Amino acid sequence: MGGEDRLYKMARDYYQKQMTQQEIARKYGISRIKVSRLLQQARMNRIVEINLKAPPSGFAELETDLADRFGLDEVVLAPEEVDGEQLLPSLGREAADYFTRSVEGGETVALTWGTALSAFVQALPAENYPQMRIVQMLGGLGNPEAEAHCSGLVGRMAAKLNALGRILPAPGIVSTPEVREALIADANIAAGLEMAAQADLAFIGLGIADPESVLIREGAILKREEVERLKAAGAVADISLRFFDQEGRAVEDPVDQRVIGLSLGEITKIPRIVGVAGGVRKRQAILAALRGSLVDVLISDIATGRWLAEQE
């Protein structure tokens, strides 16, 4: 059997008959590694030509282009042309779908807070992941009864997945640096933050440095003058109360010394960070996070995806 004849037969077995490389190796009496090399050679010799056809929606092409452009692992865009009250449920469904297809069941998952993540947890189907751990990466913010409160999200997500929930028994921001130092010296709080820092993946929302944002509406998170000071220093958005500018660079501020949660540097060391955000008001925050490589996966909406494609 000639060389190209053998390449053709192996390629037919692999691509048309759906045989595994191990099965082909046994059939021809060679190693699996050699099968892999020969299949690669079949493509190089143009015995195999692979053609991809994008779906008619064009979403996949845009998602792939954005991922390549910003160096992301994946971009997922909610297909509906939505904003307003339909936006969050749409983002939540896409985030839940991404979660269920990308986890194996034994991961440690860190959460921030916010309405987008609340929609994500709401959309999750019931699963049985007793080896999974859901942890807070930031202390509680705002009204503990609110659906977007971080400890509530951790509890709800852990209950849906039959997973272990690890609550951080502390507020997200305190009155002075001294109070923060005293709290993070507590063994339970320190252990919770360490667990969050060692997470396998994190789901994060993106806040905006806006006097009308939830940071002020919730009442006891940040004062209006603090937000104005952050904006004057160049802050456009935050992840877990860690602020950054339009290029995704950290903006240092006295607020940092009062936050009980992971630093921006610690957050970016988590292997897979999934950002869930969309809508017109969040676009500059999303762009800044992408420019700064602060997320690995972006879940947003199609209109925001088209807007991102138009940016320099």
Given this structure, which CATH class describes domain 3-44?
mainly alpha
Q: Contact 174/257 with Cβ under 8 angstroms? A: no
Reference 68, options 273, 309, 280; nearest CA is: 309
- In total, the chain counts a number of residues equal to 312
Assess whether the region 3-44 and the region 59-309 belong to the same CATH fold.
Answer: no
Reference 80, options 310, 307, 303; nearest CA is: 303
pLDDT at 129: 97
Question: Which segments of the chain have a pLDDT < 50?
Answer: 1, 145
Q: Whole-angstrom Cα distance, residue 160 to residue 171? A: 24
Q: Does domain 59-309 bear CATH number 3.40.50.1360? A: yes
pLDDT at 1: 46
For the chain, the first-to-last Cα distance in angstroms comes to 55
Q: Whole-angstrom Cα distance, residue 16 to residue 255? A: 60
pLDDT at 55: 56
Q: Contact 157/148 with Cβ under 8 angstroms? A: no
Residue written as token pair 């060389």: 3
Please state the domain extents for the chain. 3-44, 59-309
Residues facing residue 75 across a β-bridge = 298
Interhelix angle for 283-291 vs 302-309, to 10°?
A: 60
pLDDT at 217: 59
Q: What is the largest CA-CA distance in the chain?
A: 80
Q: Whole-angstrom Cα distance, residue 123 to residue 126? A: 10
What would the DSSP string read from start to end of 290-304? HHTT--SEEEEEHHH
